[in-house]
A and B are shown apart, each in its own frame.
Chain A
Amino acid sequence: MAHDWQPDFEQLVDEHQSMVYSLALRMTGDRGLAEEIAQDVFLELDKRLGKIESAAHACFWLRRVATSRSADALRRRKARRTSLWVTIEEDHGVPAEERTSPLGARLEQLLATLPEPQRAALVLRYQEELSPEEIAATLEAPLATVKSNLQRGLKLLRAKAENHLKEYVRGF
């Protein structure tokens, strides 16, 4: 199909590197792996640039591929969950406290302990602010499954937060 949009790879990297890296980081909990995934995703985009029809399509494609590559990497490496999040506090030389609150950092740790499908749904919901329909399209999963994963993930995360973050939370 012919389309007028002229993609600029460098501009796409500038616009979406934070999104792709954050998705991979929240999914894997491993900074090095997230960087590796981000590189792979953008190099794959470069190969398929001719098939991308619009800026929105590029964004959708990047989200979908970043999430699926991260899930694949997770399955391969069976990531060590919470312990990996110790490294994130450095945040490339910026202390975590300067970027986010300790509560945020702890919630990130708890997020990393959720099952992978629930984690993917929650990251897309809260980081990318996607609707359940958009998440279903991104993950290529049935809407009912996505809604269930969102509900269960949120419930689990809330329960874990209640148990582990008592020092930060006076009530939900």
Chain B
Amino acid sequence: MDFEPMDDFDRKLKRLFERWPAPPDLKRRLMENRRRRKERPQWFALPFAARVAVSLCLLAGVFAALYGGIAANQAEQRRKGEEARRQVLLALRITNHALDHMNRQLAAHNRARQE
């Protein structure tokens, strides 16, 4: 294509960089978005007392969850401690039983030698 010489770059740019037309449905979609936003309950549109109440409820929920988590963790630790204690006692009982058995055998052996 043939174009005239670009003797004035500055002037050309002004002419070439005219505004683009906005997409035909930009306004329609924008107004629709705006309407939806206005219908949606906005946090700052709530009365101050309601915002405080919601914040307190959320805070209480967070604390309850934290407390529940800590309590559950402590219960789990206690359960593991009990389990370990039971296993140690069982091991001691087995050892005790084995030692008794050995003592009885030694006593029987000694008695046999004396006779």
Contact = CB atoms under 8 A, between A and B. Distances in A.
Closest 3 CB pairs of A and B: A17-B22, A104-B16, A126-B17
B16 A43 contact: no
Contacts of A126: 13-14, 16-17
Nearest to B34: A46
A134 to B, nearest CB: 15
A73 to B, nearest CB: 17
Interface string A153-164: 010011001000
A172 B7 contact: yes
Contact of B33 (A14, A39, A102): A39
Interface of A is mostly: helix
B18 interface: yes
Interface bracket on A: 35 or more
B24 interface: yes
B32 to A, nearest CB: 10
A124 B18 CA distance: 11
Interface in B48-62: none
B27 to A, nearest CB: 5
B107 interface: no
B30 A101 contact: no
Interface in A1-50: 9-10, 13-14, 17-22, 25-26, 31, 35, 38-39, 42-43, 46
A87 interface: no
B33 A92 contact: no
Interface in B1-58: 1, 3, 5-7, 9-10, 13-14, 16-24, 26-27, 29-31, 33-34, 37
A66 B48 CA distance: 33
A101 B3 contact: yes
B9 A10 contact: no
Given A92-B23, A170-B5, A39 B30 contact: yes
B7 A171 contact: yes
A22 B27 contact: no
A91 B23 CA distance: 8
B6 A17 contact: no
B13 A38 contact: no
